Amino acid sequence: MTEDSDRHAKKMAKKKAARDKIMATKTGEKGLVIVHTGKGKGKSTAAFGMIFRCIAHDMPCAVVQFIKGGMSTGERDLILSTFADRCRFHTMGEGFTWETQDRERDIEMAQAAWEKAKELIRDPDFRMVLLDEINIAIRYGYIDAAEVVAFLAAEKPEMTHVVLTGRNAAEEVIEAADLVTEMELVKHPFRSGIKAQIGVEF
């Protein structure tokens, strides 16, 4: 072993010892309230990644799409065609709210999605329930943040993970969550005239 690699081995051994010590204290298990927010990409994509992880582990899960982008249909089709036995899928919205221009209908849609979400979360068979883009529905005032937080505290089964995505997550929701990630936009190709592309955005 060279001196350099010896130093490296010592450094890594120290890191490993520190990490093992920390990990030994992490013994709890519980259903988490997980929030993906921020202006960057990957909020829904990472949430769907967790849904695919659940599918991989044969953990029953469910998705409620609060706002249909009209584009992110890849995952939806794959789930419906291949994994309908393991994942329930509900698309409740009818396009982004700025494409409908009808506040009453948007509220009705969002409320219907929230009722469906509550029903799925109450069912302890589901190990993960993804509420996709619910943060936007809350932000627009279509669903009450305090009601969402109160419901999760009172009725979410202990072992169920609930994932809430969408930019501008409400302060109350972040407060109530166990795991919050903010996706920050560092650089985006839209700025140089590149359109949304298959496989990347949808």
Subset of residues 34 to 53 that bind a copy of itself, contact rule: CB under 8 A: 34-36, 38, 40-50, 52-53
Using CB under 8 A, which of 90, 91, 94, 100 touches a copy of itself?
Answer: 100
What are the phi and psi torsion angles at 104 (to 5°)? Answer: -60, -45
Shortest Å distance, C-beta 83 to a copy of itself: 9
Contact predicate 132/63, CB 8 Å: yes
Count of chain residues binding a copy of itself (CB under 8 A): 82
Query: Which residue, 79 or 134, is less far from a copy of itself as judged by CB?
Result: 79
Place of tokens 């949304």: 196
Which window, 77-85, 108-116, 117-125, 145-153, contacts a copy of itself (CB under 8 A)? 77-85
Hey, which residues between 164 and 193 contact a copy of itself (CB under 8 A)? 174, 177-190, 192-193
Beta-bridge mates of residue 33: 162
Q: What's the rounded Cα separation, in Å, for the pair 22 and 131?
A: 32
Contact partners, residue 202, CB within 8 Å, separation at least 6 = 69, 71, 72, 73, 74, 196
Measure the CA dihedral 108/176/155/124, to 10°.
Answer: 100
Query: Which residue, 83 or 151, is less far from a copy of itself as judged by CB?
Result: 83
Using CB under 8 A, which of 64, 75, 93, 134 touches a copy of itself?
Answer: 75
